[in-house]
């Protein structure tokens, strides 16, 4: 039966289960081969791509970390010259923050949020496809420039005047600034999609207070992205303008200001930490609930703490500037606000511990990662309180103490939960179970390797070892600890290797997972593993915060959506009452071409400002094709 022969407007309840699934499959599927590869708008395919790409960048950034540890293992080592070392530490930081941490967290949202709220695709799926290509282009720009020996060498923070026209020679700082444009563009696009998906596409009955905590964290994160990223876009654009057309934003000789850069950068840069950490909070909550077999204690305080953290995140940026000589009043205020962030974080941790206290913990790999999180992240939180104190910060700032601190917060606080989360959702994404034995090895190795690598750095910092130095003299007495750190880094790397090997093997040879292998309560486990292109044959109807624990056998669903076009359900923001049946765009090649056109414009504008003018023409053409209607059923009303 060809689709033309079908009556237009066919609804799901008019077909039996098998025929309905077949019709939906036909409507929603992504064609195989290259055409599908470039045209797909399926949030699962794009999300998976995003996750895999981000983990490739993680591995590359990790290798850079090992190379730096090789150079620092001995005093006065000469494996790397200072120029290469500066490129490598800049690449490591920029790569980890902009190409791994933020994208991977958003990628988890891209894959999971539509499933968790019970809809069929993310809002603005073509924008989603576009955002991935733009992200990929930004990553390639950075890494190709590294391969060509012209990578940025000004640090991931690119402080002026070092990165400015006078001291930043060549195109290195421009490449850094434009890489920012790429990644922020993609991050902002995904943030918009997530906000709209969460607010308007939740399954009927999933009122705000029944939303899974992970969805809450992604919603709050998306808002933080929307409010924080414009600052860095403006900073990087001003930097490019200073370098390319001779503006004077950061030139004190002509009325500009060096610290303006730092204000703009950290107004984005500190919320950035929470953009990475908040999704991890959602992952921890999800894993804890599933593996202690009870809901996370204190849903409302958890949500309030989330929102509180997000608000406070915008009042902390000056604590990165405590040694710049700002007025005392400002320092006092920002000390207090920086310390205050410990309150919502503490509240969340207490709620989690209470959850475990009355729960029945099942010690599987994801939960073990969460336990590793508790141990390390709280150390990071404590040292965070120390660097929040202005006087202590004058000794700790820009030393290895801070390097230790933020790796404890970012790896302990975000990467451990992320690894646990990938392990946890891997069966859903691939339909296969990872090995528990290898999983435990990976937890043990990363946990031990991490702490052995980074704890000694606190001591090095106190002994006066500053950051971003490519070598140090033997008489400083730092050699022993540095060698120890470098050797421990190999253990940490081995942990990541086991993690990758485990998942790589499981993707091909793992045991079939079934729909809900962990006995989890949220909607993504109500569909097949991996989910079909349309996610749910019928949209689930939600009656509690833990639908699959309350309706264990039979899923209540809504019927009446069309199967002959991509259709999903729009519901009200607060109580998720159905408002409309909305169509969802089909596959299209134009997001890809738009991304290509945007890439050409952005990269050319490093070399000539006129690229912004002529480069806009192909972008406008591609966007017109993107949005031009073609008489598909999706456009019917």
Residues of span 286-315 touching other proteins by CB under 8 A: 297-298, 301
- Burial (CB < 10 A; 0-12, 13-18, 19+), residue 216, is buried
- Report 466-505 residues binding other proteins (CB under 8 A): 466-477
- Report 384-413 residues binding other proteins (CB under 8 A): 385-386, 389-399
CB 226 within 8 A of CB 190: no
Compare residues 503 and 568 and give the one whose CB is closer to other proteins.
568
CB 68 within 8 A of CB 91: no
**550 near other proteins, rule: CB under 8 A:** no
Q: How far is the CB of 567 from other proteins (least distance, A)?
A: 8
> Phi then psi for 403, rounded to 5 degrees?
-60, -45
**636 near other proteins, rule: CB under 8 A:** yes
Compare residues 34 and 358 and give the one whose CB is closer to other proteins.
358
**134 near other proteins, rule: CB under 8 A:** no
User: Which range in 174-182, 235-243, 403-411, 420-428 contacts other proteins by CB under 8 A?
Assistant: 235-243
**360 near other proteins, rule: CB under 8 A:** yes
Cα separation, 244 vs 240, in Å, equals: 6
Q: Which of 170, 382, 511, 512 binds other proteins (CB under 8 A)?
A: 382
User: Which range in 407-415, 445-453, 484-492, 547-555 contacts other proteins by CB under 8 A?
Assistant: 547-555
In sequence order, the 6+-apart residues with CB closer than 8 A to the CB of 371 are none
Strands (E), 385-475: 432-433
Cα separation, 465 vs 389, in Å, equals: 20
Q: How far is CA 282 from CA 105, 214, 418, 428, 549, in A?
A: 10, 4, 10, 17, 19
Q: How far is the CB of 453 from other proteins (least distance, A)?
A: 19
**524 near other proteins, rule: CB under 8 A:** no
DSSP structural state of residue 517? T
- Report 16-75 residues binding other proteins (CB under 8 A): none
Helices 258-291 and 342-358: angle between axes, nearest 10 degrees: 10
Q: Which of 48, 59, 161, 440 binds other proteins (CB under 8 A)?
A: 161
Residue 483 exposure: Cα atoms within 13 Å on the Cβ side: 8
Q: How far is the CB of 82 from other proteins (least distance, A)?
A: 5
Residue 135 exposure: Cα atoms within 13 Å on the Cβ side: 31
Compare residues 62 and 380 and give the one whose CB is closer to other proteins.
380
User: Which range in 131-139, 272-280, 343-351, 432-440 contacts other proteins by CB under 8 A?
Assistant: 343-351
- Report 243-262 residues binding other proteins (CB under 8 A): 245-249, 251-260
User: Which range in 39-47, 95-103, 335-343, 500-508 contacts other proteins by CB under 8 A?
Assistant: 335-343
Cα separation, 252 vs 422, in Å, equals: 48
Q: Which of 81, 209, 511, 550 binds other proteins (CB under 8 A)?
A: 81
User: Which range in 56-64, 102-110, 130-138, 377-385 contacts other proteins by CB under 8 A?
Assistant: 377-385
Cα separation, 126 vs 41, in Å, equals: 6
CB 224 within 8 A of CB 275: yes
**329 near other proteins, rule: CB under 8 A:** no
- Report 565-584 residues binding other proteins (CB under 8 A): 567, 569-570, 578-583
Q: Which of 59, 342, 490, 600 binds other proteins (CB under 8 A)?
A: 342
Opening angle at CA 301, ends 545 and 422, nearest 5: 60
DSSP structural state of residue 102? H
DSSP assignments along 203-262, one per residue: PTT--GGGS-HHHHHHHHHHHHHHHHHHHHHHHHHHHHHHHHT---TT-GGGT--HHHHH
- Report 451-470 residues binding other proteins (CB under 8 A): 462-464, 466-470
Per-residue contact string for residues 208-227; x = within reach of other proteins by CB under 8 A: ------------------xx
* Residues touching other proteins, count (CB under 8 A): 148
């Amino acid at each position: 039966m060809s689709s033309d022969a079908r009556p237009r407007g066919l609804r799901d309840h008019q077909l039996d289960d098998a025929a309905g699934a077949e019709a939906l499959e036909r409507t929603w599927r992504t064609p195989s081969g290259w055409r599908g590869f470039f045209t797909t708008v399926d949030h699962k395919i794009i999300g998976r791509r995003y996750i895999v790409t981000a983990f490739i960048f993680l591995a590359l950034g990790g290798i850079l970390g090992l190379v730096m540890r090789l150079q620092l293992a001995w005093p006065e080592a000469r494996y790397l010259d200072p120029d290469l070392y500066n490129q490598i530490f800049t690449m490591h930081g920029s790569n980890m923050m902009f190409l791994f941490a933020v994208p991977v967290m958003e990628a988890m949202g891209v894959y999971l949020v539509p499933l968790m709220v019970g809809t069929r695709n993310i809002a603005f799926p073509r924008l989603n496809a576009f955002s991935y290509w733009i992200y990929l282009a930004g990553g390639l720009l950075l890494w190709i420039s590294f391969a060509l020996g012209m990578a940025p060498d000004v640090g991931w923070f690119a402080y002026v005047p070092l990165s400015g026209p006078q001291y930043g020679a060549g195109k290195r700082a421009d490449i850094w600034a434009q890489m920012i444009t790429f990644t922020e563009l993609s991050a902002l696009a995904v943030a918009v999609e997530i906000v709209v998906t969460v607010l308007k596409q939740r399954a009927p009955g999933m009122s705000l207070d029944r939303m899974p905590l992970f969805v809450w964290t992604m919603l709050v994160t998306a808002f933080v992205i929307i409010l924080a990223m414009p600052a860095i876009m403006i900073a990087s654009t001003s930097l490019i303008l200073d370098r390319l057309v001779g503006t004077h934003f950061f030139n004190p000789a002509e009325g500009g200001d060096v610290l303006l850069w730092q204000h703009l950068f950290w107004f984005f840069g500190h919320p950035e930490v929470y953009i990475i950490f908040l999704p991890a909070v959602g992952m921890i909550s999800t894993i804890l609930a599933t593996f202690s077999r009870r809901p996370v204690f204190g849903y409302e305080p958890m949500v309030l703490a989330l929102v509180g953290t997000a608000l406070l995140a915008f009042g902390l940026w000056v604590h990165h500037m405590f040694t710049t000589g700002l007025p005392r009043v400002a320092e006092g205020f920002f000390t207090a606000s920086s310390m205050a962030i410990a309150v919502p974080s503490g509240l969340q941790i207490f709620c989690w511990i209470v959850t475990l206290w009355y729960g029945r913990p099942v010690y599987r790999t994801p939960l073990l990662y969460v336990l590793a999180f508790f141990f390390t992240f709280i150390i990071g939180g404590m040292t965070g309180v120390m660097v929040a104190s202005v006087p202590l910060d004058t000794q700790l700032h820009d030393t290895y103490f801070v390097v230790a601190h933020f790796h404890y917060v970012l790896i302990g606080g975000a990467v451990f939960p992320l690894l646990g989360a990938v392990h946890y959702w891997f069966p859903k994404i691939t339909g296969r179970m990872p090995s528990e034995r290898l999983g435990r090895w990976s937890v043990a190795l990363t946990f031990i390797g991490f702490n052995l690598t980074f704890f000694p750095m606190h001591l090095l910092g106190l002994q006066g070892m500053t950051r971003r130095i490519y070598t140090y003299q033997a008489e400083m007495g730092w050699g022993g600890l540095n060698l120890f750190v470098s050797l421990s880094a190999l253990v940490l790397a081995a942990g990541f290797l086991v993690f990758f090997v485990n998942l790589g093997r499981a993707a091909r040879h793992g045991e079939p997972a079934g729909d809900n292998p962990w006995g989890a309560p949220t909607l993504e486990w109500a569909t097949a593993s991996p989910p079909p292109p349309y996610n749910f044959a019928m949209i689930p109807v939600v009656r509690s915060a833990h639908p699959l624990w309350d309706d264990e056998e039979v899923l209540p669903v809504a019927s009446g959506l069309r199967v002959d076009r991509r259709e999903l359900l729009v519901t009200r923001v607060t109580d998720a009452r159905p408002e409309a049946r909305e169509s969802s765009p089909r596959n299209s090649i134009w997001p890809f071409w738009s991304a290509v056109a945007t890439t050409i414009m952005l990269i050319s504008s490093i070399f000539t400002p006129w690229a912004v003018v002529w480069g806009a023409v192909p972008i406008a053409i591609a966007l017109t094709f993107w949005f031009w209607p073609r008489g598909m059923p999706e456009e019917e009303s």
